[in-house]
Structure 1
Amino acid sequence: MAKIALALAARGTDEGAFKAWGTRAVGASNTKQWGSGKELLTHLVNASRGGENCIERLYIFSHAWPYIPGGNRGGVKLGGIDVAGFYSQPSIYDDADARYMNDFAQLVQQGKITFCSSCKVIFTGCRVASSQFPVEFLYVSGCEVIASNGSSHPKPGTPPGDETGQWLSTAGGWTEQQAKKNENHYVGWVNYSLKPNGEVEETRLGEEIRIW
């Protein structure tokens, strides 16, 4: 079974940046664009090639969520008011091409999507960690998951994080800044992994990490 690295870059707003980041992370040939949850899962199926390959490293470059006290719906999306992404649960307003964690789980159980025994998934969208979505993905895939609990973006500098792979996750607006200051709200990166007993271990990585 061949081990592969894959980057999935969202179409729409900022698609040029998403595609460029994917290319830097895993190369152009291993970077695919997606415009719906349906297409995102199809790329995972195609990459697995009926079990001939296993996914060892997966980047999902996308938009996600604004700061919402108490957390968000969970998932990744294409930017703006988006109803065709990949989410934890359905919403009444979703597009027919939206997909959900149950769809993903079925494809993994059927062997149509295969992950290596040791694998890592990185979600770069803002506040993906402000929900149960990373934990759900961890349980289905068995992969270590890294996600942001704040406003995520490449680190400015010379050279910039777009080139070096250094990314920040910080407070993105006044409300979130006040939550960080007054409520000790964490806005950095979170690493999710499974303990030997099957429990989830969440490790706070701080506001700066290197993702490639």
Structure 2
Amino acid sequence: MNIDPNKLSIGIFLYPNMTMLDAYGPLQVLAVSRQFNVFTFAKHAKPLPSDAHVDLLPHYGFADCPNIDVLIVPGSANPIEQIKDVEVISRLREIGDKAKYVTSVCTGSLILAETGLLDGYQTAVHWAYADALKKYPKVTHVNQRVVKDRNRISGGGVTSGLDFAFTLVAEFAGKGRAQALELLLEYDPQPPFNTGNHNTTPKALKAAVQSKVYEIGKGLF
């Protein structure tokens, strides 16, 4: 793809069995804005399976990835393979050290925590994985949908990646641009069951979901 040297380059890390919406929700918003070079990259530039049983095709691999100004690391139901992959952690740390901003969606913050790039910073994470962040005492979890701490910006679980993306647009292109984009994309959430906020949802439902996450997220907690 063509890289405009006058625009910020935003690189979104892809990996096997990741949560597709964590990456492609923000990608859609950022691409429609036409304010940035937005591309995906992975360990290798070949098709990767996602949690939605749709193969994802990264633009680049580690070997030919362009310079990244803003690193985005999305999450998955269990990112333990990425956390344990020495090459992945080393490469993300290298990219993050050079980037102007280091960001994440959902459990992507667990991957970033492993790199050390969140040491001394606050971060969001999917509410059901907050306990997993306790393995990283230098990282502070904040119970918010989007968290901004200096040049670290993070979104909570899955759909918060949209709020996260509009926050990025405002940060880099101005509030007015983000407001216009929000209107263009008709972003006006009205959830049909109103159970998406873990702070207010019924306790029994929250406990059931948390139990399922503990089961899926073996090795994280």
Q: TM-score range by the shorter chain?
A: 0.3 to 0.5
Q: Which has the higher helix share?
A: 2
Q: Which has the higher strand share?
A: 1
Which TM-score applies when normalising by structure 2?
A: 0.33
Which TM-score applies when normalising by structure 1?
A: 0.33
